[in-house]
């Protein structure tokens, strides 16, 4: 069965410090991994996807199939990064998303 684990419910870092939000998954097929973000009073929205291999708002995430991980990283956190972050998985080309429990990131000034 597909499963996504985000071990940290809460993460707090200081502005300018590096950020890493952890995501591990279990799936035997060919997964597509995503990070979705929900800023305060805004809708849940796609942040990035592993197949795009791009950096969005300074964030990157690399799919590590050996470790079954898709951690989200940013070298220097900004206050506007404070939000709820969800890691999600689907089979390649499929539609059904399985979400992790989410991590609430707080950036302290």
Partner 1 sequence: DAGVIQSPRHEVTEMGQEVTLRCKPISGHNSLFWYRQTMMRGLELLIYFNNNVPIDDSGMPEDRFSAKMPNASFSTLKIQPSEPRDSAVYFCASSRLAGTNEQFFGPGTRLTVL
Binding footprint of partner 1 on the chain (CB under 8 A):
32, 43-46, 49, 86, 90, 93-102
- Residue 40 is encoded by which pair of tokens? 């305060």
CB nearer partner 1, residue 3 or residue 65: 3
Closest CA to 80 of 48, 44, 39: 39
Residue 99, strand partner residues: 88
Distance CA 88, CA 62 (A): 14
CB of 88 to partner 1, least distance (A): 8
CB nearer partner 1, residue 17 or residue 94: 94
CB nearer partner 1, residue 34 or residue 81: 34
CB of 36 to partner 1, least distance (A): 8
Distance CA 78, CA 32 (A): 27
Distance CA 58, CA 72 (A): 10
CB of 17 to partner 1, least distance (A): 26
Distance CA 7, CA 10 (A): 9
CB nearer partner 1, residue 13 or residue 98: 98
CB of 44 to partner 1, least distance (A): 4
């Amino acid at each position: 069965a597909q499963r996504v684990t985000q071990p940290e419910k809460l993460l707090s870092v200081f502005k300018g410090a590096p950020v890493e939000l952890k995501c591990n998954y279990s799936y035997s097929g060919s997964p597509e991994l995503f990070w979705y973000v929900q800023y305060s009073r805004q809708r849940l929205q796609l942040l990035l996807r592993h197949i795009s291999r791009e950096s969005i708002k300074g964030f990157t995430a690399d799919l590590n199939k050996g470790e079954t991980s898709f951690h989200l990283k940013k070298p220097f956190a900004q206050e506007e990064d404070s939000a709820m972050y969800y890691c999600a998985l689907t089979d390649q080309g499929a539609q059904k998303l399985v979400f992790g429990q989410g991590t609430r990131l707080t950036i302290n000034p």
